[in-house]
Amino acid sequence: MILVFVFLHIYELKIDEVIVMKVNRQDGWTKNEDETLGKIVLAHIMAGSTQLKAFEEASVTLKRTAAACGFNWNAFLRKEYTDQISQAKKKRTTKNPDVPTVESDYSIVMTQLNKVIEKISTLKEQNDRLEEKNKDLNQVITKLEKQKQQLTEEMKEVKSEYMELINVIKKVTIEPNKFGQH
């Protein structure tokens, strides 16, 4: 007999004088996990959803893959839940959420329309603020242009006076006798 000790717990059962080895894996499903998976699948059946979506939800809750959830459900649990499955199918609230209805299409359209209206409103508010800021900046530009024009005129006057002063200095240095210097 080969004994496997790595992550396995082994015990023996005698059936008709034959020794059968039963292996319990450490990653096997607990009763609580089976019940959780069963509740999730039944809820999806009742809601008209698919078992695949149930397995995806269960995979997150149970921290297992969706494939593992599907295998456990189909291989072991489904036959234990036949009565509950038929009751869940009778209590279905919708046929299938993946198949759009007029109501769901209308709801989707209205939701999207409300988002668009909200976005337009936000953009309009931003536009109003930017237009006000633009108006203020245009006023500042106009004021600065006036100041520039005044400063340009003042600079021309100062330059003209400076040139006159230079001319006077040249005359004084070139013709010193004219101004009473010896």
Q: Give pLDDT, residue 91.
A: 83
Domains and CATH numbers, the chain: 8-90 (1.10.10)
Q: What does the alpha-carbon distance between residue 107 and residue 109 come to, in Å, rounded to a whole number?
A: 5
Residue 98 has φ and ψ, to the nearest 5°, of -80, -20
Kindly report which listed range (26-35, 75-84, 98-107, 172-181) carries the lowest average pLDDT score: 98-107
More confident: 160 or 25: 160
